[in-house]
Structure 1
């Protein structure tokens, strides 16, 4: 039993070539493989450039100064930039500073930095670090 579509295809000479179908699937496979490789490389490149940083403490020096102690581990030798912030009791940012340090890859290094504030702070935080 043939379908109406098959009858029309036979009458007007329309048919799909096996070559065209095979070429279509090869192109789809190559594009899918390329997308998978690109996503994998993007993931690896991002993780290789990530900086591990932890705040280890803070001290309120006076009404206008906070010191923040933090530890940084970078994946490669070079410069690492870190954003430090001081907050008041309502979690409003009252001080902000970006500092840069030279580090050796894979080695944990501790730093203590001073953040000037515009009002009395109650805490000091390490906001983020990145490879500069």
Structure 2
């Protein structure tokens, strides 16, 4: 027995069966994880939806027009929520709308939002697929 074996003990040697079982289990986990990642990347039912705020125009003390872009696969209808904020970043106006399917991937929209007080900014809160 060497000095280190006497001090720390001897490790148990793995049998061939245990080693083979460990390799098979590791490969099964690796294959399962690879298939899961692949299925996420090739799921054709997932549609990419992006929005971009382009600007706004304050019409009066109780109205704002919000200009925004929606990018989605052509032929896909979208619903969006647009909000107006005051100088304290409090929501003073909110409007949800259904946008019809378009033949173009990116569409620009202008949406009028009524407010409870004078807004200082307007933006898209979120968009989703109905």
Instruction: Report the TM-score when normalising by structure 1.
Output: 0.75
For structure 1, the residue ranges without an aligned partner over 5 or more in a row are: 10-14
Which consecutive unaligned segments of at least 5 residues does structure 2 have? none
* Kept in 2: contact 1:74–1:105 (CA 8 A): no
Task: Report SS of the residue matched to 2:116.
Answer: coil
1:86–1:117 Cα contact (<8 Å) kept: yes
Corresponding residue number in structure 1 for 2:30: 32
Q: 1:30 to 1:112 in 2, by over 3 A?
A: same
Which residue of structure 2 aligns with residue 121 of structure 1? 119
Higher helix proportion, which one?
1
Task: Name the CA distance, whole Å, in 1 between partners of 2:33 and 2:74.
Answer: 28
4+ residue stretches of structure 1 with deviation over 3 A? 1-6, 43-46
Corresponding pairs, count? 124
How far, CA to CA, are the matches of 1:74 and 1:89 in structure 2? 32
Q: Which residue of structure 2 aligns with residue 58 of structure 1?
A: 56
Q: Tell me: CA distance 1:26–1:105, structure 2 relative to 1, closer, same or farther (3 Å).
A: farther
Q: RMSD value over aligned CA atoms?
A: 2.7
